[in-house]
A and B are shown apart, each in its own frame.
Chain A
Amino acid sequence: MAEIVLQTLALRRTFGPLIAVDNLDLRVEKQQFYGFLGPNGAGKSTTIKMLTGLLRPSGGQVRILGRNLATDSAEIKRRIGVVPEGLSLFDRLTGAQLLNFVGRMYGLSRRVAAERSEDLLEFMDLKDSADKLVADYSHGMKKKIALAAAVIHGPEILFLDEPFEGVDAIAATTLKRLLQRFISHGGTVFLTSHVLEVVERLCTHIGIIQNGRMVASGSLEELRNGVKIAGHDHSPLTLEEIFLQVVGGDRQNAEVLSWL
């Protein structure tokens, strides 16, 4: 049986009367590329914040790499990498300074941090902008430097909140290459994304959340088998079709915008 590296047990988060995440049970195994999907406001970002220690759960438990996040957060943080919503970058540092700094925060020696910063800047095609302030980076460059900062210490699991949002095709290709390489070397990726084509192509496992509850999960094949659409021909369902069927997102009435 594959090693479970991420597990949540009845994870719950409320904001006053609003239940953002409702008794969520997640199970992610080692080397899985897990895509966590859901419509806007479904609870994806809240979940990923709770998984990375950026938000305290109202109830339930998070276990990462066999440890309890509530009691072992420092050790877990050392072994995970995160690209959070908003990226959390120190934008008045240059790209090189930022990577160096993050590496040292994770306990890398000065020499190793500098060497890995160099490698990552090269890989991300940011070498020419290494001495430029992150504040002056384009959106795609910021995403790339954030991903580089997330992997500099060699984590075992990567948590990525919308890594492909607002990224052009070239930058997206670089990000995908890095993630595939990470998986092939034994890493695990947990990502949220609205770009369903990317998720369909990259992810081995998918979870769909709606109103804070998990409404579907499994491999793409399992999801295809579980969803039936009336009148659909025999070609395999796309992830978009599955997603819309599961969350009921095909109900918009175009007639409302008759003036457009």
Chain B
Amino acid sequence: MRRPGRRAELGMQVLWILMGSTFVLFGCIGFLLGGFGLPRINRTDLLDLLLWGVFLIWQLAPVLFEGYSPGLSFREIARYPVSFRVFFLLNAAYGLSDPAAITALLWLLSFWLGLTFARPGWAFTAALALLLFAVFNLLLNRIVIAQFDRLQSTRRGRERMVFLTFMVIILLNLLQINASYLTRVRGVKIAPWLSHAVTEVREFSPQGMAAQVFLGSGVAELTALAGLLLYGLAAYLLLQRQLRVVYQGEIYAETYTVRRKKKVRKGWRLPLVDDVTAAIIEKELRYIRQSGRLLLQLIYPPIIFLVFIFNGPVRKLPLQPVWMLAGVASFMLLSLPNLAYNTFGMDKEGFGRWLLSPPPLQKVLVAKNLTHGGLLALVYLFFLVIIMAMFHLRATPAITVTVAFAAALVIQLGTGNVISVNWPRRVELTQMNSKMSSQAAGLVALLVMIPLSMIVGLITFASWYWKVTWLPLLCGLVILAISLKLYSFVLDRVARYAWEHIEEITGNLSA
């Protein structure tokens, strides 16, 4: 903790906790008001929607936010002399330490308080319903997390997981885009079958059942309670089945078929780079290919962009192509920290191999940066071609934005190198709870992007004010030259720092 790096990391953690607490607090107020207000205005039919909110945060947040849940391998716990009953209870109870679970429980409590203030007669039945609902969510969350961990353990599983997460994100974005479209268009009629299906899902979901327990009366209340109990029982049995296999020593290792190959294939040869650099790029790309999350972050921007531009109403927005390209460039630069801000993270103990090998660390960093920068540049090029072809973007603004993108990329990569040696973090490709970079990295990415955006804004304003159209390009070229010079300076400093702190870095990257 004596080192500035560690202090920054702690500071960042405190900041995240403060931001998270604010989010949770506002959520609590919202649930309290919702639980109180909806019955008072006789819109009890909407109460289950609040429970959907709880359900989504509890189940999706740990999956969508990488490295966010606390990590404890229950495969290790199974090695201790604990009975299966204790093992099961430990696993379930451990789910309560997940930030999503804590958030959801606080929201449920606020919701219950709101309901009790509004209708004191509901206090007991609502408490019972929400408790059962919470137990169901807790068990389901443990099943989901264990299933994702299992998927992460094999190459094919990781690919499936990328696809699954990708589809969820796309679906959410499509819903969001179309929801904003529907709010602007009057007279849209939803197909009766769809409306009916939504009603059915709401009614028979655990959320709907939980609401029915305190909203309904007599048979309806008992039926809902029985339904909720059934959901809980099903989750309990599923989790028990899943955990029993782990308890009995199942290892999710990569299945492997022995194939006797005749020859070891030669390594890659790449244009414009020497053999050592090509070897490092090959290794980096092989690693990235195995990281579903990184792949997702690379594929995500172009797909969302395509959804965005091919979406009818959005296409009619008066957005200039140059700003579209600039927006895309910024979006991509913000996704860079996951790739480049913990450049040795996936290497883990392999970091020592870079130090044992003859090429200087500067060369290794350049090769890694070429890989990460090259990947981003390829995606950017894809956007550029589409925007130029579809929106008739002229060459001069296209070159200007590209130069600015290149300059920002160099600055981001250099910053990434500094962060990588100051806050290295071991990345486990096979674990859900493994973060791709340190928390401080996110803050630094923003600290780099904000002044860069301000500079771009100033240059754009000056160009518009004085009507000097060539000014942005000239400034972009100057900034690019300066950033390249700075980058070479930073590289030497980073390499020297790494050598001076070998043990600390190796310690952070080792198990």
Q: Write out, one digit per residue, whether chain A residues 101-133 have a CB within 8 A of any chain B CB (1) or not (0).
A: 110111101110111011001000001111111
Of the listed stretches B144-152, B230-238, B260-268, B484-492, chain A binds B260-268
Is B510 a contact of A54 with CB atoms below 8 Å? no
Q: B71 near A: Cβ within 8 Å?
A: no
Q: Write out, one digit per residue, whether chain B residues 263-276 have a CB within 8 A of any chain A CB (1) or not (0).
A: 11111010000011
Is A128 a contact of B258 with CB atoms below 8 Å? yes
- Chain A residues contacting B349 (CB-CB under 8 Å) are 86-89, 91
Q: Write out, one digit per residue, whether chain B residues 348-360 have a CB within 8 A of any chain A CB (1) or not (0).
A: 1111110111111
Is A110 a contact of B275 with CB atoms below 8 Å? yes
Residue of A nearest to B430 (CB): A135
Q: A86-B349, A88-B352 are in contact. Are A99 and B264 (CB under 8 A)?
A: yes
Is B287 a contact of A92 with CB atoms below 8 Å? yes
Q: B283 near A: Cβ within 8 Å?
A: yes
Of the listed stretches B174-182, B216-224, B390-398, B498-506, chain A binds B498-506
Give bound CA distance, A198 to B502, whole Å: 31
With both chains docked as a complex, state the minimum distance between the C-beta of B153 and any C-beta of chain A, in angstroms.
10
Q: A227 near B: Cβ within 8 Å?
A: no
Give bound CA distance, A111 to B283, whole Å: 17
Q: B188 near A: Cβ within 8 Å?
A: no
Q: B319 near A: Cβ within 8 Å?
A: no
Which residues of chain A from 60 to 112 have any CB-CB distance to chain B below 8 Å in the complex?
A: 74-75, 77-78, 82, 84, 86-93, 96-97, 99-102, 104-107, 109-111
Which residues of chain B from 458 to 511 have any CB-CB distance to chain A below 8 Å in the complex?
A: 499-500, 502-503, 510
- Chain B residues contacting A111 (CB-CB under 8 Å) are 266
Q: A136 near B: Cβ within 8 Å?
A: yes
Which residues of chain B from 392 to 447 have any CB-CB distance to chain A below 8 Å in the complex?
A: 429
Give bound CA distance, A9 to B405, whole Å: 52
Q: Which of B259, B275, B353, B502 contacts A102 (CB 8 A)?
A: B353
- Chain B residues contacting A31 (CB-CB under 8 Å) are none
- Chain A residues contacting B499 (CB-CB under 8 Å) are 56
Q: A55 near B: Cβ within 8 Å?
A: yes
Is B279 a contact of A104 with CB atoms below 8 Å? yes
- Chain B residues contacting A91 (CB-CB under 8 Å) are 348-350
Q: A82-B356, A130-B261 are in contact. Are A88 and B269 (CB under 8 A)?
A: no
- Chain B residues contacting A90 (CB-CB under 8 Å) are 283, 287, 347, 350, 353
With both chains docked as a complex, state the minimum distance between the C-beta of B280 and any C-beta of chain A, in angstroms.
8
Is B348 a contact of A127 with CB atoms below 8 Å? no
With both chains docked as a complex, state the minimum distance between the C-beta of B2 and any C-beta of chain A, in angstroms.
12
Q: A55-B502, A114-B264, A118-B263 are in contact. Are A88 and B279 (CB under 8 A)?
A: no
Q: A53 near B: Cβ within 8 Å?
A: yes
Is A97 a contact of B352 with CB atoms below 8 Å? no
Q: B9 near A: Cβ within 8 Å?
A: no
Q: A7 near B: Cβ within 8 Å?
A: no
Q: B66 near A: Cβ within 8 Å?
A: no
| A-B contacts at CB below 8 angstroms, number | 121
Is B261 a contact of A131 with CB atoms below 8 Å? yes
Give bound CA distance, A129 to B276, whole Å: 25
Is B348 a contact of A84 with CB atoms below 8 Å? no
Is A55 a contact of B267 with CB atoms below 8 Å? no
- Chain A residues contacting B348 (CB-CB under 8 Å) are 91
Q: B76 near A: Cβ within 8 Å?
A: no
Give bound CA distance, A222 to B263, whole Å: 48
Q: B346 near A: Cβ within 8 Å?
A: yes
Residue of A nearest to B503 (CB): A55
Q: B282 near A: Cβ within 8 Å?
A: yes
Is A101 a contact of B279 with CB atoms below 8 Å? yes
Is A53 a contact of B356 with CB atoms below 8 Å? yes
Q: Which of A86, A105, A128 contacts B359 (CB 8 A)?
A: A105
Give bound CA distance, A190 to B276, whole Å: 28
Give bound CA distance, A221 to B179, whole Å: 86
Q: B240 near A: Cβ within 8 Å?
A: no
Is B275 a contact of A109 with CB atoms below 8 Å? yes
Give bound CA distance, A100 to B267, whole Å: 7
With both chains docked as a complex, state the minimum distance between the C-beta of B361 and any C-beta of chain A, in angstroms.
11
With both chains docked as a complex, state the minimum distance between the C-beta of B294 and any C-beta of chain A, in angstroms.
12
Q: A104-B279, A107-B276, A133-B254 are in contact. Are A96 and B264 (CB under 8 A)?
A: yes
Is A100 a contact of B355 with CB atoms below 8 Å? no
Give bound CA distance, A84 to B354, whole Å: 12
Is B350 a contact of A88 with CB atoms below 8 Å? yes
Give bound CA distance, A91 to B427, whole Å: 12
Q: B256 near A: Cβ within 8 Å?
A: yes
Is A105 a contact of B358 with CB atoms below 8 Å? yes
Residue of A nearest to B510 (CB): A86
Which residues of chain A from 178 to 229 have any CB-CB distance to chain B below 8 Å in the complex?
A: none
Give bound CA distance, A82 to B356, whole Å: 7
Q: B286 near A: Cβ within 8 Å?
A: yes
Kindly name the residue among B346, B349, B499 whose own CB sees the greatest number of chain A CB atoms within 10 A: B349
Is B290 a contact of A92 with CB atoms below 8 Å? yes
Q: List 6 A-B contacts (CB under 8 A).
A: A88-B350, A92-B290, A92-B429, A101-B282, A110-B266, A113-B267
**Beyond A78-B358, A114-B263, 9 extra complex contacts between A and B, CB < 8 Å:** A77-B357, A87-B349, A88-B349, A88-B351, A90-B287, A91-B349, A99-B264, A110-B275, A135-B254
Shortest 5 CB-CB distances between A and B: which pairs? Answer: A88-B352, A104-B279, A90-B350, A110-B266, A105-B357
